[in-house]
Amino acid sequence: MELVFGIHVREHGYRIGRLAGVEVERGTHQVRSIFLSADGDMGPHAETRPLAAVPIDHFAGDIVLRSFPTSAGPTAGEPLLLSRATRLVRGGQQIGRLVGVEVSADSGSLTGVFGRQHWWTRRLRLDGVGLDFSSPGEVRVGASKTRAA
């Protein structure tokens, strides 16, 4: 399932905000929760919902959250926060900004990320294998090929 930052999030039939980011476990790359806010930006005003609230069959358009989601288990270690402010870096050079993530519907693991260099350029997709999240605020990409999304 694709989770693109900035799309509308609905709950109980009402629009409650825009997708602002996701929380990922560093070691396993499991997506734990989503962040949403009225303006679509991360900050102290952002709310969180567990990934279990997002329907498995969500692929495009608004995210319509389930009414009674199952609770997520405790997080092992410090989580990683991904948002529009996250830079995509290859070989020390910035190749764009993060615009969304691709999550496995079965396991909830991160299978890819989407980025864009400028608002007028095509969106690119990077496979989740080989991504380095060790630097805060950056996703480092290996020498693997990118695909236009």
* Domains in the chain, CATH or no CATH each: 2-64 (2.30.30.240), 83-148 (2.30.30.240)
pTM summary value: 0.83
- Rounded distance between C-alpha atoms, residue 96 and residue 116, angstroms: 5
Element (H, E) at 138: strand 138-141
Q: Tokens 């995210």 belong to which residue?
A: 63
Residue pLDDT, tens place only, 37-96: 999 888 899 999 988 888 777 666 788 887 765 555 666 677 899 999 999 999 889 999
DSSP H or E stretch at residue 93:
strand 93-103
Higher pLDDT residue, 115 or 58? 115
pLDDT at 144 > cutoff 60: no
